[in-house]
């Protein structure tokens, strides 16, 4: 949208982008990491300057972003640093399996291939975490894997989460439908429980204010934390995430915006918008259009409306679809049950996304 006389710089610590919605398919063996990964460096062909480097600090007064090797001056800054993963808050969590990044998803795929049955515990150690349907999608996919290997009768799948109900941000009706779907597959759900520690020698999960439970395979979302570089930036709000205006995504600092998982976007009901790629995409569209308008001397009229939708794989070649207006009070969310059409729609979305942007 901008002419070539303007300089656009993208800074990323990795030269590669991985399409994270497909990581559960890496866990099942339906995808490989290279298949869903693209090189960011050819963005230079689009007139975008790409800098590979870890952001070490942001100086708001001097309008500079510092990496280990260079300093970049900005007129406008869009902070899209996502989240950092951690396990140190829960002793023993570092040895849990996960599918939240490529190497881990491949490792879990290999582990599931040799698993001979038993108690599978899928845990959410803390809130918030990105992709709210993720733990439930993972449980349904693992259920399908175990059924295919004739191990389901020898296995138990149990989800443990601090949430009162599945996907609590989507409201009671959606949570109940997901719970019914889990029950149909014999997947147990325990809400309002918080992990305290993991004893791998005894294979026990310890919870605050709850009895320890045994496991044979432990799978967990990582603890999500705001990137450390932002802790001293002055951008963080009372909840420890980057505070933004819910419509324009601007921060307390002039010409500084934040989008995606690092941002804390307030909803009318007093809760925070879920961390999800579909929202990051919508926020990016709004910020890009408003910045383009402002630079061109026009009024920035675009506003992020809190709409979003995502697929939730259900195993057996089927997927559900969750679509909602999260800026309504209460949020208006619809759950469309699993079907083969929705599974192939997700596969089509993956293909179009990787083709369109790369």
In the sheet that holds 71-73, the strands lie side by side as: 55-59, 64-67, 71-73
Interval 180-211: pLDDT, tens: 999 999 999 999 999 999 999 999 999 998 89
- What's domain 85-224's architecture? 3-Layer(bba) Sandwich (3.50)
The residues pairing with 16 across neighbouring beta strands, listed in sequence order, are: 39
DSSP single-letter state for residue 355: H
pLDDT tens figures, 269-307: 999 999 999 999 999 999 999 999 999 999 999 999 999
How much is the average pLDDT of 110-114? Answer: 98
b/e code 287-310 from CB counts within 10 Å (16+ = b) = bbebbeeeeeeeebebebebebeb
Does the predicted model carry a pTM greater than 0.75?
Answer: yes
pLDDT band at 218 (very low <50, low <70, confident <90, very high): very high
pLDDT at site 114: 98
CATH topology of domain 8-84+225-295: FAD/NAD(P)-binding domain (3.50.50)
What value does the mean pLDDT take over residues 75-104?
Answer: 97
pLDDT bin (cut points 50, 70, 90) of residue 227 is very high
pLDDT tens-digit readout, 122-178: 999 999 999 999 999 999 999 999 999 999 999 999 999 999 999 998 989 999 999
pLDDT at residue 357, as a whole number: 87
pLDDT (mean) for 24-33: 98
Q: Is 11 helix (H, G, I), strand (E, B) or coil?
A: strand
Q: Where do the CATH 3.50.50.60 domains begin and end in the chain? A: 8-84+225-295, 85-224
Mean pLDDT computed over 247-262:
97
* pLDDT, position 142: 98
Q: What percent of the chain has pLDDT over 90?
A: 96
Closest CA to 31 of 358, 311, 346: 346
Q: CB of 352 within 8 A of CB of 328? A: no
pLDDT tens digit string along 54-71? 999 999 999 999 999 999
Do the Cβ atoms of 307 and 324 come closer than 8 Å? yes
Confidence band, pLDDT 50/70/90 cuts, at residue 358: confident
Confidence of residue 14 (pLDDT cuts 50, 70, 90): very high
Q: What mean pLDDT, rounded, does the chain reach?
A: 96
For residue 311, the model assigns a pLDDT of 97
- Going by pLDDT thresholds of 50, 70 and 90, the confidence category of residue 81 is very high
* Per-residue pLDDT at 167: 94
The mean pLDDT of 19-35, rounded to a whole number, is 97
Task: Kindly write down the DSSP assignment for every residue of 238-288, as one continuous string.
Answer: TTSSEE--TTT-B-SSTTEEE-GGGEE-B-TTSSB----HHHHHHHHHHHH
* In the predicted structure, residue 109 carries a pLDDT above the cut 90: yes
pLDDT the model gives residue 329: 93
């Amino acid at each position: 949208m901008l002419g070539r006389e303007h300089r656009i710089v993208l800074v990323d610590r990795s030269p590669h982008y991985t399409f994270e919605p497909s990581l559960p398919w890496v866990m099942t063996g339906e995808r490989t990491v290279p298949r869903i990964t693209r090189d960011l460096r050819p963005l230079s062909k689009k007139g975008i300057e790409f800098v590979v480097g870890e952001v070490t600090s942001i100086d708001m007064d001097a309008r500079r972003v510092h990496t280990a090797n260079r300093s970049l001056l900005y007129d406008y800054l869009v902070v899209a640093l996502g989240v950092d993963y951690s396990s140190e808050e829960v002793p023993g969590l570092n040895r849990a399996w996960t599918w939240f990044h490529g190497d881990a998803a491949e490792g879990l795929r290999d582990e599931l291939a040799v698993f001979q049955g038993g108690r599978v515990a899928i845990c959410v150690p803390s809130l918030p975490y990105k992709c709210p349907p993720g733990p439930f999608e993972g449980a349904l996919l693992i259920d399908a894997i175990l059924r295919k290997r004739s191990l389901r009768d020898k296995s138990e799948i149990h989800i443990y989460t601090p949430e009162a109900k599945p996907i609590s941000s989507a409201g009671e009706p959606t949570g109940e439908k997901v719970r019914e779907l889990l029950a149909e597959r014999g997947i147990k759900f325990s809400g309002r429980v918080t992990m305290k520690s993991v004893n791998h020698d005894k294979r026990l999960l310890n919870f605050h204010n709850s009895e320890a439970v045994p496991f044979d395979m432990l799978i967990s979302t990582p603890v999500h934390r705001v990137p450390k570089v932002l802790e001293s930036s002055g951008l963080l709000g009372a909840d420890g995430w980057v505070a933004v205006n819910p419509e324009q995504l601007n921060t307390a600092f002039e010409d500084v915006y934040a989008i995606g998982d690092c941002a804390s976007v307030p909803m009318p009901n007093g809760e925070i918008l879920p961390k999800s790629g579909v929202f990051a995409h919508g926020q990016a569209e709004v910020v890009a259009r408003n910045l383009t308008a402002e630079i061109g001397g026009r009024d920035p009229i675009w506003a992020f409306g809190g709409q979003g939708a995502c697929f939730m794989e259900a195993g057996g070649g089927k997927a559900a679809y969750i679509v909602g207006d999260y800026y309504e009070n209460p949020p208006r969310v619809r759950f469309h049950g699993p079907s083969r059409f929705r599974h192939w729609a997700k596969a089509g979305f993956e293909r179009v996304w990787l083709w369109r942007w790369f």
